[in-house]
Chains A and B, each alone.
Chain A
Amino acid sequence: MSANLVVPTMAEMMARGEQPDVLFWVGCSGSFDDRAKRITKAFVKLLNKANVSFAVLGTEESCTGDPAKRAGNEFAFQMQAMMNIEVLNGYEIKKIVTACPHCFNTLKNEYPELGGKYEVVHHTQFLKSLLDEGKLRIEGGQFKGKRITYHDPCYLGRANQVYEAPRQLIEKLDAELVEMKRSRKNGLCCGAGGAQMFKEPEKGNKDVNVERTDDAMETQPDIIAAACPFCNTMLTDGVKFKEKEGEVKVLDVAELIANAEDL
């Protein structure tokens, strides 16, 4: 199946003298984490289906430095940022799409001051624009009647005010979008942000991802929709903790649409 994926790299494109419309920034999760790789592939399938002219950096991509920055290591962050900016500027990149809200936020907000000025969009915004331009059609058949609740990633929602694009995509699936009590700007973190993904939590009486999974479970969903690879991991773990993995799936918005398309 994945043999059908067309994933050109910037180096290949440049060798052919071509410039893609948009660079797909895959991110570390999307490149290495087994669960997140499925999101990456789902998004690529949609890009291929819509005939989007895109490329990836492949082995020339490196961490944006976001987790180092949130942990307080400004040196590691700025080293990564400067190296990435050299690569991106070298390829004269104008527009970047990424499926990771952390990469999205860092590229969009923190790179410009260091010399990296690009139009940066999240994959849910990008998919929404493909839909609006008629390049992508969403058939909701298999989701009809399903209850889907959407979890706002902090770095997409509160941090960058992107609340509607992912919701509008889900609504296209003919599913019932049910909101958690804490949503949009009041959304509760999944527990991964601020470099917590990479360490054990401090002493307390509950894990944040379980607290958030409780919010989701209250809506009695069939599917918990996420738009961030880290949120996906945390909520998947939360669902497993509740021993509900048989009944409730955690899926990225891109996966929902790719599944709907039966890609």
Chain B
Amino acid sequence: MHYLAQALFLLLLIVGFGFFIKNVKKLIRNIKLGRDIDRTDNPKARWKNMIRVALGQSKMVKRPIPAILHIFVYVGFIIINIEMLEIIIDGLFGTHRVFKFLGGGYDFLIGFFEILAFLVVFGVVVFWIRRNIIKLKRFNQPEMDGWPKKDANTIIYIETILMCFFLVMNAADYYLQSQGYSHYVLAGSFPVSNLISPIFNGLNLETVALIERICWWGHIIGVMFFMNYLYYSKHLHIFLAFPNTYYADLNPQGQFDNLESVTKEVQLMMDPNADPFAAPAEPQGEPEKFGAQDVMDLNWVQLLNAYSCTECGRCTSACPQNITGKALSPRKIMMSTRDRLEDVSKIMDANGGKFVDDGKTLLNDYITAEELWACNTCNACVEECPIEISPLSIIMDMRRYLVMEQSAAPVELNNMMQNIENNGAPWQYNQMDRLNWKDEN
């Protein structure tokens, strides 16, 4: 019987991790669909940024209430996972609470886990209330309709169930320990679950032991399920926040990249010695697109951004255009980018790893020109993001495509750009009049 349980447990781990690894590989393949961009410079500053922003959650503190609740869930998640090590060893070798030899240290750890588990439950319950009872605006905007809202609640439910399994398992264990039942020897301290254990009064001990086992299995099965749910949910940030902040743009927010392909052409245009008929120095492949029409035209950091987004909506709640009722929502830019990337991924899976044109593109089918042209490039969204995602960089790359590949700017902007090209100012003034102000009254 024991061996059967151990074999089942091993099978669970193999299936759980196997499926997880498969999805991680897919994730990496999809992110690599993006254009290359070098973000390996200045590793010291990058590590520092990651430790401060992802590990230290420095940008969360701006909104103190969710920051504290999030810390409960975040610390709970990381610390309680230490317990996973014991569960895996117990499961594989048929032991029970294998770390109990740690004595007082074990008591402390279990006690600490229990308090954290309680705080996690408290945190997610308040999160649920904020989303479903108080209905905070940022959780209830149009892009959250349907799956995103369901996804958010599902995560809350899974976390609650996991913690309940954990606490009831401990409560049953504690009860059995106090009754001296079978192999349930005294180990651990149970500051939270000892309050639950009275519910077992009057039950026969075999039933309580069964409940303990059900919770133990429920917990580990739940963990395996949750781990594999991540890829399909907004919850990937628990892993991706770290690479996302490491590879973040370290330049001042106002500094937009200068397109290298344009620089070459402009230099050629302006070089009086350039031979316009000269053959290109090296054979060139398909000419590079200016800007981004689809996810493959974005760089891989932007695609990583899309997978990292937790849809918290801080960006959108700070966006001047969204506040004033325009179609633009920076969060939706990230969600649409991920939706498109996932659709591309499915097409690739169905065609042996090759992308086949489906007649759709990120531009128009997922993100409209109206959204793109509303942007103030004010960086409020970038400043807000707790894990340093830049919706703005995607908006800019798509504007570039609209202007440089499609000449599809709003007519007023075309006039402005023509003026700059013709007379060196966004308005129709003669460059020779630039100093007239000096003598005007």
Instruction: Say whether A and B bind each other.
Output: yes
A residues neighboring B (CB under 8 Å): 1-3, 5, 7, 9, 26, 28, 30-32, 37, 40-41, 56, 58-59, 61-63, 65, 67-76, 78-80, 82-83, 105, 109-110, 113-114, 154-155, 158-161, 185-186, 188-189, 191-208, 210-212
- With contacts A114-B263, A194-B377 taken as known, whether A69 is within 8 angstroms of B256 at the C-beta atoms is yes
User: Which B residues between 246 and 276 are near A, CB-CB below 8 angstroms?
Assistant: 251-256, 258-259, 262-263, 265-267, 269-270
The answer to whether the Cβ of B338 comes within 8 Å of any Cβ in the partner chain is no
- Tally of contact residues, B, Cβ under 8 A: 69
The answer to whether the Cβ of B69 comes within 8 Å of any Cβ in the partner chain is no
By a CB distance below 8 angstroms, the chain A residues around B420 are 63, 65, 67-68, 76, 80
The answer on a CB contact under 8 Å between B402 and A58 is no
In whole angstroms, how far apart are the Cα atoms of A205 and B322 in the complex? 10
By a CB distance below 8 angstroms, the chain A residues around B357 are none
The answer on a CB contact under 8 Å between B438 and A193 is no
For B5-42 the 0/1 string (1 means CB < 8 A from A) is 00000000000000000000000000000000000000
The answer to whether the Cβ of B441 comes within 8 Å of any Cβ in the partner chain is yes
- With contacts A1-B441, A72-B291, A78-B258 taken as known, whether A28 is within 8 angstroms of B321 at the C-beta atoms is no
In whole angstroms, how far apart are the Cα atoms of A242 and B323 in the complex? 19
The answer to whether the Cβ of B196 comes within 8 Å of any Cβ in the partner chain is no
Q: A163: shortest Cβ distance to chain B, in Å?
A: 12
- With contacts A67-B420, A68-B417, A154-B379 taken as known, whether A74 is within 8 angstroms of B258 at the C-beta atoms is yes
By a CB distance below 8 angstroms, the chain B residues around A70 are 256, 377, 396
- With contacts A63-B425, A74-B259, A204-B321 taken as known, whether A193 is within 8 angstroms of B437 at the C-beta atoms is no
The answer on a CB contact under 8 Å between B321 and A109 is no
By a CB distance below 8 angstroms, the chain A residues around B434 are 26, 31-32, 58-59, 61
The answer on a CB contact under 8 Å between B263 and A31 is no
Report which of B262, B266, B374, B399 forms a contact with A71, defined as CB distance below 8 A.
B399
| Minimal Cβ-Cβ distance residue in B for A182 | B318
By a CB distance below 8 angstroms, the chain B residues around A26 are 434, 437
The answer on a CB contact under 8 Å between A159 and B326 is no
In whole angstroms, how far apart are the Cα atoms of A200 and B258 in the complex? 27
The answer on a CB contact under 8 Å between A155 and B441 is no
Report which of B254, B291, B327, B410 forms a contact with A155, defined as CB distance below 8 A.
B254
Q: B406: shortest Cβ distance to chain A, in Å?
A: 10
The answer to whether the Cβ of B432 comes within 8 Å of any Cβ in the partner chain is yes
The answer on a CB contact under 8 Å between B254 and A204 is no
The answer on a CB contact under 8 Å between B376 and A205 is no
Report which of B254, B399, B429 forms a contact with A72, defined as CB distance below 8 A.
B399
For B317-347 the 0/1 string (1 means CB < 8 A from A) is 0101101111110000000000000000000
By a CB distance below 8 angstroms, the chain B residues around A211 are 320, 323-324
The answer on a CB contact under 8 Å between B253 and A194 is no
By a CB distance below 8 angstroms, the chain A residues around B262 are 74-75, 78
Report which of B270, B320, B382, B438 forms a contact with A5, defined as CB distance below 8 A.
B438
Report which of A192, A196, A197, A202 forms a contact with B370, defined as CB distance below 8 A.
A202
The answer on a CB contact under 8 Å between B320 and A191 is yes
In whole angstroms, how far apart are the Cα atoms of A158 and B318 in the complex? 13
- With contacts A71-B409, A159-B254, A188-B320 taken as known, whether A202 is within 8 angstroms of B266 at the C-beta atoms is no
Report which of A67, A83, A113, A194 forms a contact with B375, defined as CB distance below 8 A.
A194
The answer on a CB contact under 8 Å between A199 and B320 is no
A72-B402, A189-B378, A202-B327 are known contacts; what are 14 more A-B pairs with Cβ within 8 Å?
A28-B426, A59-B431, A73-B404, A78-B263, A79-B270, A80-B420, A80-B424, A113-B258, A154-B378, A198-B413, A202-B321, A202-B370, A206-B323, A211-B323
Q: B53: shortest Cβ distance to chain A, in Å?
A: 14
The answer on a CB contact under 8 Å between B437 and A154 is no
The answer to whether the Cβ of B145 comes within 8 Å of any Cβ in the partner chain is no
By a CB distance below 8 angstroms, the chain B residues around A9 are 435
In whole angstroms, how far apart are the Cα atoms of A160 and B318 in the complex? 18
Q: A128: shortest Cβ distance to chain B, in Å?
A: 19
Report which of B254, B326, B327, B440 forms a contact with A105, defined as CB distance below 8 A.
B254
By a CB distance below 8 angstroms, the chain B residues around A201 are 321, 324, 326, 374
By a CB distance below 8 angstroms, the chain A residues around B376 are 154, 189, 191-194, 196, 208
Q: A173: shortest Cβ distance to chain B, in Å?
A: 25
The answer on a CB contact under 8 Å between A82 and B325 is no
| Minimal Cβ-Cβ distance residue in B for A188 | B320
The answer on a CB contact under 8 Å between B320 and A208 is yes
Q: A47: shortest Cβ distance to chain B, in Å?
A: 13
The answer on a CB contact under 8 Å between B252 and A160 is yes
The answer to whether the Cβ of B373 comes within 8 Å of any Cβ in the partner chain is yes
The answer on a CB contact under 8 Å between B326 and A72 is no
| Minimal Cβ-Cβ distance residue in A for B416 | A198
